[in-house]
Amino acid sequence: MPKIEVNKNAFFNIFGKNLSQNELVTILEGAKAELDDWNDKEGVLKIELNDTNRPDLWSTAGLARQLKLLQGRDDRKYTFFSRQNDFKDHQGREVQVNAGLKNIRPYVAAFAVKGKPVSEELLKDTIQTQEKLCWNYGQKRKSIAMGVYRANMIKFPVHYKAVNPDTTSFTPLGLDSELTLGQILKDHPKGQEFGWILKDVPKFPFLEDAEGGVLSFPPIINSASIGALEVGDDYIFVEMTGLDMDSLLLATSIAACDFADFGYEILPVKIVYPYDTPYGREIVTPYYFQQPVSMELDYGRKLLGENLSNEDLLAALKTAGNNVKLDSRKVILTPSEYRNDFLHPVDVVEEVMIGRGMSSFEAMVPKDFTVGRLSPVELFSRKVRGIMIGLGFQEMIFNYLGSSKDFIDKMNIENKDFVHIMNPMTENYAVVRKSVLPNLLASESVSANAVYPHKIFEIGKVACLDKNENYGALTSNYCSFLLADKDSGFNDVNSLVSALFFYLSKDYSLKEKDDPRLIKGRTAEIYYKDKLCGIMGEIHPVVLDNWGIGMPCSCVELNLDILLEN
């Protein structure tokens, strides 16, 4: 969960009044946050946020804004947002995008900030906001990278270009000599840390102004001149580049609202694209793009468990800082400029709960008396588990999420019917497994020093896309086991399957099958009551080589849900 450090004086200044430690702990519940540390000596508050879909709270200004709204005080005046067919005057501040970026890093958004000189506290908070937005929400800079610059050194228009990494050079932040972009990826610490984002792209993103002054090499590093923001600067240029337009616009909105809450004037910037984007070829940012979401009033009352009046529902939503209106039997909510987390009517219900105050709901004793019991599939799984252990196998427990490299590429199969995670925090947990075999092979790949034979199994869930299911995906319970030994082959797993089905008192049949994971001619599908319930065979040498396994392996996968059928 995100953790932030806020300057205590700046936080209470935006909030509008000072709070005691106990008072702060109480009201932080409204932001799903907890106070980790109150440091009077350093004037710092350390706060942990338990909601990962509210990146607008990951800063001093954002958190103070939310808590102030929940106290019924709303003095927000964000008049700088453009909307469809209503662009704000950009006064010549413009970013022109090069066509070569379309398939590399296609989107950019920007704004300028003007006002009082930047303090050390604000500079630290800006850096923290940059890090939290780009690291957590921006997938370690892959989908969002933010740059902050000294605007008085920039000659507009700014050019967002795709350049040759071996012939383009500048002096990066932290150095006093020029390096090519390719050298930065090899030699600069930030290049070594984030160079993976630009792996295998023919050209690199580059930002420079109308006179050739270098702003940055996004998403890697700023320049040592224009990109070196300092305490005392009073005119700032902020840009964000990325892969997804909505995420980029939201992050830009969050940063702009934070600066506005600190008392700065926000100046719009026009972005000109040579290719189509979700919002056209010209857009002025910050830009309001969010769509309204509606909630049936009866649906809200049912989930909340209280028969709230229309007035109470609307008041709670307004307290949380939303624009709302009543339409017949439903409420229509228009999100604030810095939010885009309303994906379903249930999110509106949650907002009512937060706006009204969670402690305002009366505790209720459950009316239904229920007795817990094990499900039939759990009882059957326990029986299978006991048989497998009796056959000499060791049980393993693995994650259900993994990388496409492990689940797809190394298994020598196509990316078909896999469930992919949208906006994953890391590529290592981006795909839901639809087979347990990759997990078993991953374990075997690091077990070469253990005495053979290796006999391991897991009983767990897998998932795959299925348009016939209500939610578009089917989750199944599987038993998979792997046998690794110098003489391991089809006959070994065939005898194990025979033993397993014997102790389960079930009959089965086999049918020859080609599977890219397994050796042709040594692979068979397993049928129970004429239904395909599994597969067994010898692991293909290509797959073994992909995993770095030097010992022959044979395997079995069984769908326990099908075997459970009478």
User: Of 328, 350, 329, whose CA–CA distance to 339 is shortest?
Assistant: 350
536 has a pLDDT exceeding 80: yes
What does the pLDDT read at residue 357? 84
Q: Domain 293-359 class?
A: alpha beta
Contact present, 185 and 197 (Cβ < 8 Å): no
pLDDT band at 306 (very low <50, low <70, confident <90, very high): confident
Residue 449 pLDDT exceeds 80: yes
Helices (H), 305-358: 310-319, 345-356
The two structure tokens encoding residue 162: 């795709």
CA angle 401, 404, 410 (to 5 degrees): 115
Which pLDDT does position 501 carry in this prediction? 96
Going by pLDDT thresholds of 50, 70 and 90, the confidence category of residue 366 is: confident
- pLDDT 10s digits, 484-508: 999 999 999 999 999 999 999 999 9
Q: What is the pLDDT of residue 86?
A: 93
Q: What is the pLDDT of residue 312?
A: 87
Q: For residues 554 and 537, is the Cβ–Cβ distance under 8 A?
A: yes
* Segment among 356-365, 437-446, 490-499, 548-557 with least mean pLDDT: 356-365
Let me know: does 546 contact 413? Beta carbons within 8 Å: no
Write the Ramachandran bin of 302: left for phi over 0, alpha for psi from -120 to 50, otherwise beta: alpha
Contact 287, 279 (CB under 8 A): yes
From 3.40.50.740, 3.60.21.10, 3.40.50.2000, 3.30.56.10, which CATH number describes the 3-70 domain? 3.30.56.10
- Residue of 357, 350, 347 whose CA lies nearest to 30: 357
- Cα angle 415, 416, 421 (rounded to 5 degrees) comes to 70
Q: What is the average per-residue pLDDT within 46-56?
A: 86
Please report the pLDDT score of residue 360 as a whole number.
82
| The listed CATH number (3.40.50.2000, 3.40.50.970, 3.30.930.10, 3.30.1280.10) that belongs to domain 376-563 | 3.30.930.10
Contact 539, 518 (CB under 8 A): yes
Q: What is the mean pLDDT of the chain?
A: 92
Quote the radius of gyration of the chain (alpha carbons, Å): 29
What is the reported pLDDT for 139? 87
The pLDDT of 273-282, averaged and rounded, is 96
d(C-alpha 220, C-alpha 222), whole Å: 7
Strands (E), 185-339: 204-208, 214-217, 221-222, 235-242, 265-272, 282-285, 293-296, 323-327, 330-334
The answer to whether domain 3-70 and domain 293-359 are alike in fold is: yes
Name the token pair of 445.
Answer: 């790949």
Q: What is the mean pLDDT of residues 10-27?
A: 89
The three-class DSSP label of residue 301 is: helix
Task: Just give the CATH number of 94-285.
Answer: 3.50.40.10
Percent of the residues in the chain that have a pLDDT greater than 90, as a whole number: 70
CA distance 268 to 256: 10
Domain ranges of the chain: 3-70, 94-285, 293-359, 376-563
Helix (H, G, I), strand (E, B) or coil at 409: helix
Which residue in this structure is represented by tokens 């009551």? 529
Q: Report CA-CA distances (Å) from 503 to 64, 276, 529, 557.
A: 63, 63, 17, 17
Residue 171 has pLDDT above 80, yes or no: yes
pTM: 0.71
With CA atoms as reference, report the closest residue to 479 among 528, 521, 414.
528
Q: Which residue has tokens 């997804």? A: 244
Q: Two tokens at 218?
A: 């996004």
Query: CA-CA distance, 184 to 222, in Å (whole number)?
Result: 11
**Residue at token pair 């999100």:** 335
* Distance from the Cα of residue 524 to its chain's centroid: 39
CA pair distance 497, 406, nearest whole angstrom: 26
CA distance 106 to 501: 56
Q: Is 540's pLDDT higher than 90? A: yes
Region of residue 472 (left: phi > 0; alpha: psi -120 to 50; beta: else): left
* Residue 452 predicted with pLDDT over 90: yes
The residue ranking higher by pLDDT, 252 or 319, is 252
Query: In whole angstroms, how far apart are CA 256 and each of 94, 110, 135, 267, 323?
Result: 17, 9, 18, 9, 19
- The confidence band for 189, taking pLDDT boundaries of 50, 70 and 90, is very high
- In contact, 221 and 184? CB cutoff 8 Å: yes
Angstrom distance (rounded) from CA 430 to CA 438? 15
52, pLDDT greater than 80:
no
Residue-by-residue DSSP string for 472-499: SEEEEEEEEEEEE-TT--HHHHHHHHHH
SS (H, E, C) 39-87: ECCCCEEEEEECCCCCHHHCCHHHHHHHHHHHCCCCCCCCCCCEECCEC
Tokens of 212: 């050739």
pLDDT of 309: 87
pLDDT of residue 371: 83
Tell me if 302 sits within 8 A of 352, measured CB to CB. Answer: no
- pLDDT beyond 80 at 1: no
Write out pLDDT tens, residues 81-131.
Answer: 999 989 999 999 999 999 999 999 999 999 999 999 988 888 888 888 888
Model pLDDT for residues 207-261, shown as the tens digit of each residue: 999 999 999 999 999 999 999 998 999 999 999 999 999 999 999 999 999 999 9
